[in-house]
Amino acid sequence: MNEARLYLLQRLSAMILAPFVLVHLGLVIYAVRGGLSAAEILSRTQGSLFWMLFYGLFVVAVAVHAPIGLRNVLREWTPWRGQGLDWSLTAFACLLLVLGLRAVAAVVL
Amino acid sequence: MTPHKELEVDIWRGAEDGHFHRFRVPYRDNQTVLDVVTWVQRHREPGLAYRFACRVGMCGSCAMAVNGRPRWTCRTHVSKVSRDGALTIAPLRNLPKIKDLVTDMTGFFEKWQKAGGRHRGTASRHDPPARVPPDSAPRRAADAGVECINCAVCYAACDVVSWMPEYLGPAALNRTWTLLNDERYDERQALLTAVSVAGGCHSCHTHGSCAEHCPVGINPTLAIAGLKRATLTGHLPGGGP
């Protein structure tokens, strides 16, 4: 994938993440301050198509955004370059995706 | 500034493992940093290596780091930059040091080639000259960047170059932008490919140091933003192949 496409993907994912992070933080504050129990939270998320799509898309955006940014940081601050770097960060993207989707599945299914 | 009878000038001597030597140089009311370096070479240290040619801001060969900032020494008055009669003069950053104030600019110029900075025309010398409307948007965009004289001040000012040796740098990318806006250029799509490599235009952090330091007043950051936009949309300024 060329640099222009990675650059575009990182910006597009950032556009998704910016509002999603705010909603997520608002949600965390609401849940904690409101004193919701785990059971109460699960009762609202399980079977909810909205929360499945919201956090599903959130996880995909993170899995796209973070490895591209990390790749830029590593190339600027270390001599690491080339295919080894790219494959390592592809693996990192897959890890974020799997862990994230697993967590989403755990609260919505 | 209060006039000093003498300037205390620290000048870099040697290559990468060199160090600063202090020289005392007579203060003059009208004196450029290049005058100071020349005085040192003529009166104190004949072996001092430095570059200059035109002395009037046209050739781009005398750029050095003066008190840590890259500048044309021929157009920098001592009275504007000395601090209590002290000056520090070093070779430009981000370029290998050869000796004293002279840097190896090979990599800098090679990056111009890598970024496609060579004119490939659509017409031959047998064709009539192209008529380019001076007020068209692409022509004005090219005009804004075309006065670059390759002095490498922007390249020395750029932090991204210092972090990523393969980054093409502001000067080369600014050149690509002017060519992309030149309707007489034949392979404009290839230019977008040339700057979409690792270390291409997308590595720019938009710090704006290049624009801040450019002695000609060019804004390479803006040119690089234009390149990024063009690589994303595939849209060539002014249309065309």
| Burial of A37: CB neighbours in 10 Å, binned 0-12, 13-18, 19+ | exposed
Residues of A in contact with B160 (CB under 8 A): 76
Q: In this structure, is the dihedral angle defined by the CA atoms of residues B139, B144, B150 and B152, taken in order, positive or negative?
A: negative
The SS3 of residue B225 is helix
Q: Do A81 and B196 touch (CB under 8 A)?
A: no
DSSP state of B135: T
Kindly identify which residue of chain A lies nearest to residue B199, measuring between CA atoms: A3
Residues of A in contact with B193 (CB under 8 A): 2
Residues of A in contact with B180 (CB under 8 A): none
Q: Do A76 and B202 touch (CB under 8 A)?
A: no
* pLDDT at res. A2: 85
Give first-to-last CA distance, chain B, whole Å.
Answer: 56
Residue extents of the structural domains in chain A: 3-23+46-108
Is B153 within 8 Å of chain A by CB?
A: no
Residues of A in contact with B231 (CB under 8 A): 4, 7
Structure tokens at A16: 């998704």
**What CATH number has the domain spanning B106-233?**
1.10.1060.10
Average pLDDT over residues A67-87: 94
Å from B199 to nearest chain A CA? Answer: 9
pLDDT at B56 over 80: yes
pLDDT at B117 over 90: no
Contacts by B121-124 with C-beta closer than 8 Å and gap 24+? B121/B184, B121/B185, B121/B186, B122/B184, B122/B185, B122/B186, B123/B184
Residue extents of the structural domains in chain B: 6-103, 106-233
Residue type, B67: N
**Which of these ranges, A30-39, B9-18, B101-110, B134-143, has the smallest mean pLDDT?**
A30-39
pLDDT at B240 over 80: no
Fold of B6-103: Ubiquitin-like (UB roll) (3.10.20)
The SS3 of residue B77 is strand
Three-class SS of chain A: CCHHHHHHHHHHHHHHHHHHHHHHHHHHHHHHHCCCCHHHHHHHHCCCHHHHHHHHHHHHHHHHHHHHHHHHHHHHHCCCCHHHHHHHHHHHHHHHHHHHHHHHHHHHC
Å from B169 to nearest chain A CA? Answer: 14
Q: Do B200 and A3 touch (CB under 8 A)?
A: yes
Average pLDDT over residues B178-183: 92
pLDDT digits (tens, 9 = 90+) for B16-25: 999 999 999 9
Mean pLDDT, chain B, rounded, equals 93
Residue type, B147: E
CB burial readout A67-103, b (16+ within 10 A) else e:
bbeebbeebeeeeeeeeebeeebeeebeebbeebeee
**Which of these ranges, A39-48, B107-116, B194-203, has the smallest mean pLDDT?**
A39-48
Residues of B in contact with A72 (CB under 8 A): 203
Å from A75 to nearest chain B CA? Answer: 7
* pLDDT at res. A36: 85
Q: What is the ipTM of this complex?
A: 0.85
Average pLDDT over residues B167-171: 97
* pLDDT at res. B234: 79
Instruction: Please check whether residue B175 is in contact with residue B195, taking contact to mean a CB–CB distance below 8 angstroms.
Output: no
